[in-house]
Each structure stands twice: as structure tokens, then as C-alpha cells.
């Protein structure tokens, strides 16, 4: 990511790339808080990712963070965090630049929707600067009881499954095969209430998901693989994102 600079200021918030171990430690501390860990959240992928912080400029507090792993193309997909949980050989044929976004979190005491807008503005600036053609990652539901999210999973099955040519296959030992198991007409209002905000944002950009959710006991989540092909984002949505990013 040499030469890329993110320094986005909107209202009281600023998004920027982490600079050095001190910033990384602040991101890991926020992740630990958001993911209910006993201490900072850290793993081996941190060393090979770039990290984005969203700060409240009035106090300097980190209110949101996420990390980015750029890949030259699908041939590198097995390097990704997601590849631990999903069999992604179909995506090895994807030729354009990719980036995996991971460990996205917002401080649990902050509920300002502008935080999410600034975070996605920073992501948009990065995607445009790097010529990224596929944005992907794992979008998580809190807890591991799939029954709480049946309506949300039914909507994903009905409207948002990955194209067959890119469809992730099962790899994790514990999964909920919602596309295979659910036979219900979803309550769309309930589905949207239960859908994680990050995943909803992916879907408004034309994002697609795996046909199963991984039961991740270590993180106490259910997550789905999520991809957004940049060329397929609706033009109106692109204009909104670039207005924030610009």
C-alpha cells in the first residue's frame, strides 16, 4: 500500500491510517473492548495488515477501527483471514486487485451514525486509490444461536447469495447451512432489525454472501463471507460514498 494516504475529516471525526505500534495498540484495545476480550484483541494477521482508526477529534478517542489486507488477485486468496474458515478456491480465478477488511468495530459507547459513514468514506478512498476490484471479509452476527437470526438469514438466502462462480464452500467444522435448511418466508422488518450494520452496508452496495454461516465459538459470533464487486456497486451508491470520501 505504498504511497496510499488516508486522512479524512468529517464533522468531529477523522479517519487515518495507523502510524506505528502505539496506534496499533489503540486499535487492539478497542477491538478487545468491542469483542468482549480479557485485554487487547490481537493475532498474527495484524502484522501483515494496515489499520484504519476513526477518532473523535475533540477528545482523541478511537471510536472505530478496522484493518485492511491488500491482495494482488485471487491467486493470493489463501493468505486471507477468511480462508481459515471458508474454502475459497473459486475466488482464485478472480484476476483484479482485492482487499480484505477485517476486525471492524465501533466503540460500544458510541452510537453516532456519522462514525460508520466516515469509516466507509475512508474505505472508499482506499479502494479508489488502489484500484481495488473486490472488497471482501467476514460479517458477524453477535452470539452463536442461529435461531435469533432466521429472518435475516432467510433474506440473505432469497436475495443476496454469491454468484455460483465465486461461491465459497464449507471448510469450518461447525456451520449453519441457512440456504439449505431454511424454508421460511422472512419477516423483512425483523430481518433488517437483526442484520448487523456492517453487513447491511455491504448489501446496499450490491454485496453477496456465502450460503452458510460459520459458528465461531472463539469470537462468539456467527459470520458469513461477504464480497462486494466494485464494478457492480449501484451508481447512486458510488456517488454517495465518493461524496464522503472526497
Opening angle at CA 104, ends 99 and 108, nearest 5: 170
Q: Which CATH superfamily is domain 7-245 in?
A: Gcn5-related N-acetyltransferase (GNAT) (3.40.630.30)
Within 13 Å and on the Cβ side, how many CA atoms surround 29? 10
pLDDT per residue rounded down to tens, the chain (246 residues): 445 789 999 999 999 999 999 999 999 999 999 999 999 999 999 999 999 999 999 999 999 999 999 999 999 999 999 999 999 999 999 999 999 999 999 999 999 999 999 999 999 999 999 999 999 999 999 999 999 999 999 999 999 999 999 999 999 999 999 999 999 999 999 999 999 999 999 999 999 999 999 999 999 999 999 999 999 999 999 999 999 887
3-state secondary structure 129-166: HHCCCEEEEEEEEECCCHHHHHHHHHHHHHHCECCHHH
β-pairing verdict for 169-170 and 86-87: antiparallel
Residue 1 has what pLDDT? 42
Domain locations in the chain? 7-245
Residue 245 has what pLDDT? 87
What CA–CA distances, in Å, run from 173 to 21, 42, 84, 101, 229? 34, 23, 11, 23, 28
Residue 3 has what pLDDT? 55
Amino acid at each position: 500500500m505504498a504511497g496510499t494516504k488516508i486522512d479524512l475529516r468529517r464533522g468531529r471525526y477523522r479517519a487515518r491510517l495507523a502510524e506505528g505500534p502505539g496506534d496499533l495498540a489503540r486499535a487492539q484495545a478497542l477491538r478487545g473492548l468491542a469483542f468482549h476480550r480479557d485485554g487487547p484483541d490481537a493475532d498474527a494477521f495484524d502484522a501483515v495488515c494496515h489499520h484504519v482508526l476513526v477518532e473523535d477529534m475533540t477528545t482523541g478517542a478511537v471510536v472505530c477501527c478496522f484493518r485492511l489486507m491488500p491482495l494482488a488477485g485471487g491467486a493470493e486468496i489463501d493468505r486471507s483471514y477468511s480462508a481459515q474458515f471458508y474454502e475459497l478456491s473459486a475466488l482464485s480465478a478472480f484476476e483484479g486487485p482485492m482487499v480484505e477488511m477485517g476486525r471492524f468495530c465501533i466503540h460500544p459507547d458510541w452510537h453516532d451514525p456519522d462514525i460508520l459513514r466516515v469509516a466507509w468514506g475512508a474505505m472508499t478512498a482506499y479502494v479508489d486509490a488502489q484500484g481495488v476490484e473486490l472488497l471482501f471479509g467476514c460479517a458477524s452476527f453477535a452470539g452463536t444461536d442461529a435461531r435469533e437470526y432466521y429472518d435475516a438469514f432467510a433474506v440473505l438466502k432469497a436475495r443476496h447469495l454469491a454468484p455460483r462462480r465465486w461461491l465459497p464452500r464449507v471448510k469450518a467444522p461447525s456451520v449453519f447451512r441457512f440456504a439449505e435448511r431454511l424454508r421460511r418466508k422472512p419477516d423483512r422488518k425483523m430481518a433488517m432489525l437483526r442484520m448487523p450494520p456492517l453487513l447491511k452496508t455491504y448489501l446496499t452496495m450490491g454485496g453477496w454472501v456465502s450460503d452458510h454461516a460459520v459458528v465461531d465459538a472463539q469470537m462468539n459470533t456467527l459470520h458469513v463471507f461477504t464480497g462486494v464487486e466494485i464494478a457492480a456497486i449501484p451508481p447512486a451508491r458510488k456517488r454517495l460514498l465518493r461524496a464522503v470520501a472526497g
